[in-house]
Amino acid sequence: MRIQVSRELLDRQLVDVDGRLVGKVDDVEFALDAHGVPYLRTLLTGPGALGLRVGGRIGRMLVLTAERFVTDRPMVPLRIPYRLVARVDSAVWLRVRAEDLPTSPAEAWLRRNLIGRIPGAGRAGG
Amino acid sequence: MKKLLAASLGILSAVGGFVDIGDLVAAGQAGARFGMAHSWVLLLGVIAICAYAEMAGRIAAVTGRAVFDLIRERLGARMALVNLVASYLVTVITLAAELGGVALALQLASGVPYLLWVPVAGVAVWLVLWRIRFPVMERVFGLAGLALVVFAVALFWLPTDWAALGRSAVTIDDAGQGWGAYWFVAVALFASTVSPYEVFFFSSGGVEERWSAADLADARFSVLVGFPIGGFLALSLIATATVVLKPAGVTVSNLDQVAHPVVLAFGGVGLAIAALAFFAVTFGAALETGLSAAYAAAQYFGWQWGKRVSPREAARFHTVLLVSVLLGVLLLLTTIDPVTLTEYMLIISAVALPLTYLPILVVANDRTYLGDRVNGRWLNVLGAVLLLIIVAAAIAAIPVAIGTRMGQ
């Protein structure tokens, strides 16, 4: 599969096998194989990776905001091995279910402490 | 029959998405001060929103991606974040103005001061967003919003001089109010017809309802019929203000004055219908702006969003929704006058317009997304001309607002 990373991969939506939205491709990581040829190893998603790529004061503010939701700092982005990618079109489709990936700390915190406590939170609006 | 029903429901959504507090205020002020001399602005606005909503709808149907997804992909993480912050602020201020409109409509109907209605409106909007199914809510408010047609009916009831009305619609005249004020109102009216939240909402709704290329014709049909109907309703607001308010020298500083022509024609019944219509369009728009603010954030960061999943599964999206409504309520509770807030909202929306519309035009021409469903040549010419006008409005907005001290 031949892909232009900056044009067709970065900033695309990550979608799991069931169509759940997992995050954006906030950054990517390359590695060298046995012959010294670089290959795309990991997709990174999460405010930590995004903040670094955005850079500057605005990027730092982003990371600081997100870090309020985690206990272990600095916060690590969610790493998705590239072999879990099924196909790339207007989104990046993964072979796995969102439940099998770690949940974003901010999502988990807000679910537990705010949204999940409001009556009717478990019901889809349709 | 079923197809007809589906089509009319789509049209209702489009009508509901078009008219809002911005149109009520800008159309009322345009008519009361300048007569029909801004009709061309409204026409231009309707053409622009039709063209760009069609593009956004086509992109949503073909790629399954909504507008803010594309903004991030095309502008990159950093520029898109700046865009997000600006768009979010504009949308939340719009939400506040719509909530103010709901409160003013309730004051009009009940006589109870609007500030008391503000928290009620906020809670009601949030409850509907939390509880009610998506298609139901937009259709109910779209249908109730059609009650605005009472303004068109009132024109026939009142002793309208149709020839004079028609003449003033085709002559551009500053009516002795000064050209600065004329262009101020023109920018505000244009911004009210092409509010960015309309395309955020429209394209996200398309993704949410899982449009495919097969639904494209229906989506296009609802846009091309629904938005012009909305434009017609706004035009009838200008016309009634021209016929009743302008000769009396009344300026519009509240929704009472906007409703006045209908009250003059139909008395208490007219007032009730106008209040209902104002309530429906502002409440519907409050729902749409609230959702749009949350859509923009969720689509930038890639969060799960939408009303198909339970709020638990989209906790960040629902948090932004909740916070946005809260911010809107708090902004109003500073006792800022909702009509003044609407005027400021329209000017800053005008400034922010290119942030939304440029990326749409770029992506609508991108074959890697759309294949052979990219814009045709004529739509591109139209889109480019409209974009120039949008940019001109954005550049002119602040100087005109300062130069005329908000249109005085």
Higher pLDDT, B391 or B13: B391
What is the pLDDT at residue A125?
Answer: 64
Residue A122 lies in a domain: no
Higher pLDDT, B6 or A32: A32
What is the pLDDT at residue B1?
Answer: 61
DSSP H or E stretch at residue B125: helix B114-131
- What is d(CA B332, CA B340) in angstroms, rounded to the nearest whole number? 11
Whether A102 has a pLDDT exceeding 80, the answer reads yes
* Contact criterion met (CB < 8 Å) for B301 and A115: no
Whether A126 has a pLDDT exceeding 60, the answer reads no
Tell me which chain B residues have a C-beta less than 8 angstroms from the C-beta of A89.
Answer: 63
B residues 74-93 lying closer than 8 A (beta carbon) to A: 76-78, 80-82
**Whether complex ipTM tops 0.85:** yes
Q: Quick: pLDDT tens for B203-220.
A: 998 898 888 888 888 888
Q: Quick: pLDDT tens for B139-193.
A: 888 889 999 999 999 999 999 899 999 998 988 888 888 899 999 999 999 999 9
What is the pLDDT at residue B213?
Answer: 83
Which two tokens mark B376?
Answer: 């045709």
Whether A118 has a pLDDT exceeding 60, the answer reads yes
- Rounded to a whole number, what is the distance in angstroms from the first to the last CA of chain A? 37
Peptide bond into A102 cis (omega under 30): no
| CB-closest option in B76, B310, B368 to A11 | B76
Higher pLDDT, A8 or B329: B329
Range of the domain at B194: 2-403
Residue A39 lies in a domain: yes
* Contact criterion met (CB < 8 Å) for B369 and A90: yes
Q: What mean pLDDT do residues B117-127 have?
A: 97
Q: What mean pLDDT do residues A68-83 have?
A: 83
* Contact criterion met (CB < 8 Å) for A114 and B319: yes
What is the pLDDT at residue A1?
Answer: 59
**How many domains in chain A?**
1
Q: Quick: pLDDT tens for B227-254.
A: 999 999 999 999 999 999 999 999 899 9
* Contact criterion met (CB < 8 Å) for A21 and B132: no
Residue A44 lies in a domain: yes
- Other Cβ atoms closer than 10 A to B149: 15
Tell me which chain B residues have a C-beta less than 8 angstroms from the C-beta of A99.
Answer: none
Report the mean per-residue pLDDT for chain B. Answer: 92
Three-state SS across A18-79? CCCEEEECCEEEEEECCCCCEEEEEEEECHHHHHHHHCHHHHHHHHHHHHCCCCCCCCCCEE
Tell me which chain B residues have a C-beta less than 8 angstroms from the C-beta of A123.
Answer: 310-311
* Contact criterion met (CB < 8 Å) for B130 and A13: no
Write down the residue that tokens 């339970």 correspond to.
B310
Q: Which residue of B has its CA nearest to A4?
A: B368
* Helix, strand or coil, per DSSP, at residue B27: helix
Residue A2 lies in a domain: no
Higher pLDDT, B330 or B176: B330
Tell me which chain B residues have a C-beta less than 8 angstroms from the C-beta of A13.
Answer: 65, 69, 302
Looking at residue B209, the DSSP 8-state letter turns out to be: T
Q: Quick: pLDDT tens for B363-406.
A: 999 888 888 999 999 999 999 999 999 999 999 999 999 999 98
CATH number at residue A61: 2.30.30.240
Q: Does B316 touch chain A (CB under 8 A)?
A: yes
Q: What mean pLDDT do residues B23-42 have?
A: 96
Residue B358 lies in a domain: yes
Residue B408 lies in a domain: no
Torsion angles phi and psi, residue A21, rounded to 5 = -90, 125
Residue B14 lies in a domain: yes
Write down the residue that tokens 């590239």 correspond to.
A82
Q: What mean pLDDT do residues A95-124 have?
A: 91
Residue A3 lies in a domain: no
- Other Cβ atoms closer than 10 A to B9: 17
Residue A60 lies in a domain: yes
Nearest-Cα distance to chain B for A37, in Å, is 28
Q: Which residue of B has its CA nearest to A104?
A: B303
- What is d(CA B342, CA B350) in angstroms, rounded to the nearest whole number? 12
Tell me which chain A residues have a C-beta less than 8 angstroms from the C-beta of B305.
Answer: 21
Range of the domain at A91: 12-117
Residue A4 lies in a domain: no
CATH number at residue B139: 1.20.1740.10
Residue B26 lies in a domain: yes
**How many domains in chain B?**
1
Q: Which of B131-145, B173-187, B294-308 has the lowest mean pLDDT?
A: B131-145
- To the nearest whole percent, how much of chain B has pLDDT over 70? 99
Whether B126 has a pLDDT exceeding 60, the answer reads yes
What is the pLDDT at residue B187?
Answer: 97
CB pairs under 8 A between A and B: 107
- Give the pLDDT band (50/70/90) at residue B2: low
What is the pLDDT at residue B221?
Answer: 87
